[in-house]
Amino acid sequence: MNAVCGTVEVTVPDPPKKEESTGNPELDKMIKDGNLAISEMKRLNTSIKDEKISADIDRLEDLSAKIFAQVKSDPSKLPQIRKFMDYYLPTTLKLLNAYDRMGAQGVSGENIDATMQRVESMMGTIVTAFEKQLDMLFGSEAMDISADITVLENMMKREGLSEDDGELHAESGTATAGQDDIKLEL
């Protein structure tokens, strides 16, 4: 916002945006902590110059955002990411911060090199863990959909509305289609 005072123009920064409350303090904390974690990943990604690590951080940012969005849209899944929020995410950020600090030293040494190599080799495993965490959030939904499909298939078969091995069954009779013959029974 700009205000004119006499002949001097003063720029006043807009007040910081306050996150809207969801009404669920635990969910609000997850959203706040999640946004901070993603911001820290972005900062580290800018600072770390290794292309492979940077690509892994890009993937972690994307997966984290999807995890948080999924839980925000369905807060009942919040308990499923508790260990992710309390251990995996902070430990990942700790490893990346250590990698960044050691890389910024500009020197090579036994401890620095070995530690950086261990972090580099661990990144693929971390990405896979984040992918599995996101996938697990869809576990009950996938089970529900599978059950719905099974029920739908069974109802369609029972009602004669589905094809079964090239045969179409109707309630008033049976129509069987072979290669060259057509048989209709009423």
Residues 45 and 68: their CA atoms lie apart, in Å, by: 20
The domain total for the chain is: 2
Q: Do 152 and 130 lie in a common domain?
A: no
The DSSP symbol for 181 reads -
pLDDT in tens, the chain (186 residues): 555 555 666 666 665 556 678 889 999 999 999 999 999 999 999 999 999 999 999 999 999 999 999 999 999 999 999 999 999 999 999 999 999 999 998 888 999 999 999 999 999 999 999 999 999 998 878 888 988 899 999 999 999 988 764 454 444 444 444 445 555 555
pLDDT of residue 163: 78
Q: Do 88 and 174 lie in a common domain?
A: no
Residues 50 and 168: their CA atoms lie apart, in Å, by: 60
Residue 8 maps to a domain? no
Q: Do 104 and 170 lie in a common domain?
A: no
This prediction's pTM = 0.70
155 and 166 Cβ atoms separated by less than 8 Å: no
Q: Do 62 and 97 lie in a common domain?
A: yes
Q: Do 133 and 150 lie in a common domain?
A: no
Q: Do 128 and 45 lie in a common domain?
A: yes
Residues 57 and 127: their CA atoms lie apart, in Å, by: 8
pLDDT of residue 4: 56
Residue 14 maps to a domain? no
Residue 128 maps to a domain? yes
Closest CA to 54 of 127, 137, 4: 127
pLDDT of residue 171: 47
113-121: long-range pairs with CB below 8 Å, 24+:
119/53, 119/95, 120/50, 120/52, 120/53
Retrieve residue 75's tokens: 């807060």
The residue segments making up the domain with residue 65 are 25-137
